Amino acid sequence: MFQGKNSKPDLKYIKDKAMAIRKDILEMLNAAGSGHPGGSLSAADFFAALYFAELRHDPKNPKWPDRDRVFLSKGHACPVLYAALAESGYFPVPELLTLRKLHSRLQGHPHMLKTPGVEISAGSLGQGLGVANGTAMGLKMDGSDSRVFCVMGDGELQEGSVWEAIMTSAHRKLDNVVAWVDYNNLQIDGKVEDVKGVSPLVEKFRAFNWHVIEIDGHSIEETLKAFKEARGTKGKPTMIVARTEKGKGVCFMENKPEWHGVAPNKEQLEEALKGLCVIEGPSKSQIENADA
C-alpha cells in the first residue's frame, strides 16, 4: 500500500521511476508497432511523482474503497499510465509488451473492466473531468477523504464538455479534485495555438474559480510542491498547469508533432534508449526554437 503523502519523498527514487516509465513506454510502443509516444513521455515525470509519492493506493487491492482515483482523460496516452501501474506492482512489467495485442489487458485506450488500476475507459476526449466530478461528489457524500486526480491534454481543452465540467467543479466546491494539464502546446495537427488556441490557460482557470498552480511539468520538486499546495486548498478544486514538452527525454522526439502517434522502430528504439535522459528546464530544441 502506498501512502506517499504521509512520508518524506525520495527524489532520486522518483526520478529513477520516471526514467523507468519512459523506458517502458518506448519498449512497449516498439513491441506494438503503434501508439502514442509524444504525450506519454511528456507526462512521465508527473506519473512518477503521483504514483510513488502522492497517491493513496494499493496495487494488491486495486478496488480498495479508500484509494485515491486517477482518471486519464487523454486516453491515447495510456502507455504512461500502464507503465506507472506496472512499476507500482498492479501487474508484471513484462506484460507491457502485450500492448495493443489481441486479448491483451493493455489496449490502445484504457479499459476499466479489464485492467487493474484503471478507473475510466477512455477514448473520446473531453470526458474525464466530468466523470472525475461525479466521483468526487460521491466520495464527499460518503464522507470519504479520498481524492480524484484527472489528467488532461491541452488540445483536449478545445472540447466544450471540458469547460462545462470546469464550471461544475468550482460550483460544487470540489476541493478533492486535482486536475493536471499536460501543457506541451502540440497536438496531432501541429501547435495547439494554431489549431484552436486555448491560452491564456492560467487566467481562464482562475476566472472559473479554480485554485491554479503553474509549474515546470518535468520538475519532480515543483510537482511535489504543487501536490502539497493542492492538499492544503479548501473550498476550491485545484488545477496544475504543467509546462511540458512533447516527447520529453528522447532528443529526436522532443517538440515534434510527428511523434504524436508513431511508434519507434528497432533502430529508433535503440537510439532513444541510449540517449534517454531528462534535464529539468528547457530542452535543446526549445532553446533553438526560441532563438530562431
Query: What are the tens digits of pLDDT across the range 178-230?
Result: 999 999 888 777 788 888 988 999 999 999 999 999 999 999 999 999 999 99
Query: What are the tens digits of pLDDT across the range 32-64?
Result: 999 998 899 999 999 999 999 999 999 999 999
Question: How does 205-225 read in b/e, with b if 16+ C-beta sit within 10 Å?
Answer: beebebbbbbbbbbbbebbbe
- Which grid cell is 139? 466520495
CATH architecture of 2-291: 3-Layer(aba) Sandwich (3.40)
End-to-end CA, the chain: 49
Residue 208, pLDDT score: 97
Distance CA 70, CA 67 (A): 10
Query: What are the tens digits of pLDDT across the range 94-113?
Result: 999 999 999 999 999 999 99
| pLDDT tops 90 at residue 284 | no
Residue 142, pLDDT score: 97
Q: Which helix (H) or strand (E) holds 177?
A: strand 177-183
Cα dihedral 38, 39, 43, 47 in deg (nearest 10)? -110
| pLDDT tops 70 at residue 232 | yes
Confidence of residue 285 (pLDDT cuts 50, 70, 90): very low
